[in-house]
């Protein structure tokens, strides 16, 4: 089959601009990006596995509120897990850990899983992996260029590898830098899609 005609799932962040909120504001170090990306991806996959089971058990009008309570419970569980793993990371991320419950990836998973009869995984797996990948790349590059370090999400207090004492682009660790770098990522993504002859989302 011609590659141009093959169906593909666009990257949720660079194609659909979904789940931007924690990426631009909180993912200013590699460790933060890893925690945010992993939280959204794991919650989305867990919801994708659990929600099809609800379709057969709950009446239509109860599915949506119950699914959202399930998403909020997963976010609370993840917050507690991160707090236990590394209190420094949890306090640095602040309100963005409970906000996982309303991340656009999670809301899209809720809608997709409750609406369609089939398995959500053909759409969900590339979406969750794409979100995690962008979170890692964006946060790693922001930290590397913004502070000259790379913080690893180790237990307790995160450890930082220092590359340079003179950070080249300090602006990148601010939300303004997050928006700008994401804009460059989105442009690069469109450029690659155009070269491959794909439809741009």
Partner 1 sequence: MSYLSIVLTSVFSANALLVYGLGACPAFRREGRKPFVSIVSLVVVNLFASGVFWAFRVLALAPLHLEALEAIVYAVVVAPLIKYLARALVASESPFLSRVGTSVDESALSCLVFGLALLIARRGYSLPEALLASLASAIGYWAAIVLLDAIRERLELSALPESFKGKPALLLSAGLMAMAFMGMDTVFVKTIAG
Query: By CB under 8 A, is residue 20 in contact with partner 1?
Result: yes
Closer Cβ to partner 1, 65 or 156, answer by number: 65
- DSSP for 130-195, please give it: HHHHHHHHHHHHHHHHHHSEEEE--SSSPEEEE--SS-S-GGGGSHHHHHHHHHHHHHHHHHHHHH
Identify the CA nearest to 149 among candidates 162, 130, 135: 162
Binding-residue pattern over the window 46 to 75 for partner 1, x denoting contact by CB under 8 A: -------------------x--xx-xxx-x
Query: By CB under 8 A, is residue 98 in contact with partner 1?
Result: yes
Tell me the C-alpha distance between 128 and 109, whole Å: 10
Identify the CA nearest to 30 among candidates 195, 124, 152: 152
Binding-residue pattern over the window 121 to 160 for partner 1, x denoting contact by CB under 8 A: ----------------------------------------
159 strand-pairing partners: 152
Q: Dihedral of CA 14/16/19/22: which sign?
A: positive
Closer Cβ to partner 1, 53 or 80, answer by number: 80
Q: How far is the CB of 193 from partner 1 (least distance, A)?
A: 9
For partner 1, the binding residue among 10, 18, 33, 124 (CB under 8 A) is 18
Tell me the C-alpha distance between 19 and 36, whole Å: 10
Query: By CB under 8 A, is residue 84 in contact with partner 1?
Result: no
For partner 1, the binding residue among 1, 57, 95, 162 (CB under 8 A) is 95
Tell me the C-alpha distance between 115 and 74, whole Å: 21
Q: How far is the CB of 82 from partner 1 (least distance, A)?
A: 11
Size of the site for partner 1 (CB under 8 A): 48
Give me the residues that bind partner 1 (CB under 8 A), please: 17-26, 65, 68-69, 71-73, 75-76, 79-80, 83, 94-95, 98-104, 107, 171, 174-180, 182-184, 186-188, 190-191, 194
């Amino acid at each position: 089959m011609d590659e141009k005609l093959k169906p593909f799932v666009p990257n949720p962040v660079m194609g659909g601009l979904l789940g931007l909120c924690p990426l631009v504001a909180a993912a200013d170090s590699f460790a933060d990006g890893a925690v945010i990306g992993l939280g959204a991806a794991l919650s989305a996959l867990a919801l994708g596995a659990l929600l099809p089971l609800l379709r057969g058990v709950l009446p239509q009008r109860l599915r949506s509120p119950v699914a959202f309570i399930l998403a909020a419970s997963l976010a609370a569980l993840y917050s507690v897990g991160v707090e236990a793993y590394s209190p420094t990371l949890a306090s640095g991320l602040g309100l963005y850990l409970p906000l996982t419950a309303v991340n656009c990836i999670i809301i899209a998973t809720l809608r997709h899983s409750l609406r369609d009869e089939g398995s959500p995984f053909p759409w969900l797996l590339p979406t969750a992996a794409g979100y995690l990948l962008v979170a890692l790349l964006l946060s790693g590059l922001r930290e590397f260029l913004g502070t000259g370090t790379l913080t690893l999400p180790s237990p307790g207090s995160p450890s930082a590898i220092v590359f340079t004492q003179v950070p080249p682009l300090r602006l990148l660790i601010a939300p303004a830098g997050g928006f700008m770098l994401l804009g460059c990522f989105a442009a690069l993504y469109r450029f690659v899609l155009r070269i491959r002859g794909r439809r741009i989302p």
